[in-house]
Amino acid sequence: MARLLVVHHTPSPATQELLEAALAGARDPQVNDGSIDVVVRPALVASVVETLEADGYLLATPANIGYVSGALKHYFDTIYYPCLEATRGRPFAAWVHGNLDVTGAVRAIESITTGLKWRAVAPVVTVAGAPQAEEREAVHDLAATLAATLS
């Protein structure tokens, strides 16, 4: 069974709403017939072992002062070297929510995942302000696309 690790920092109602849309996409029966185990972990508790055991990664963060959340940065700091070689080439997707500029957060995710040599299945989805139906759908579809690569 394939394993998708969802690493998130969702401190606000908006980010929680987007997480729920993403999980619905990852679990959508059109792409996940039960052959993909979706493991959901807050960024502050996601571990090296869980990262090594996963076949793909969905990353979710707010943009805080133009950067990824400290929680997601902590996750990357924790797993980077222990997972550097073993996770090379694995697929990932990400979304960023912000009320203002998300450019720095997107750049950080792209930079760190490039260093890890993870493979993006789609561009990072960005959401500004309160999520609208089209943005929830974009996050849903992003997660579904990622799950489809694992099935």
Report d(CA 146, CA 28) in Å as an integer. Answer: 11
Each of the 151 residues of the chain gets a pLDDT tens digit; together they read: 999 999 999 999 999 999 999 999 999 999 999 999 999 999 999 999 999 999 999 999 999 888 999 999 999 999 999 999 999 999 999 999 998 889 999 999 999 999 999 999 999 999 999 999 999 999 999 999 999 999 8
Report d(CA 17, CA 13) in Å as an integer. Answer: 6
> 2-150 maps to which CATH number?
3.40.50.360
Task: Specify the pTM.
Answer: 0.97
Dihedrals φ, ψ of 116, to 5°?
Answer: -75, -15
Q: Which residue's structure tokens are 């500029």?
A: 101
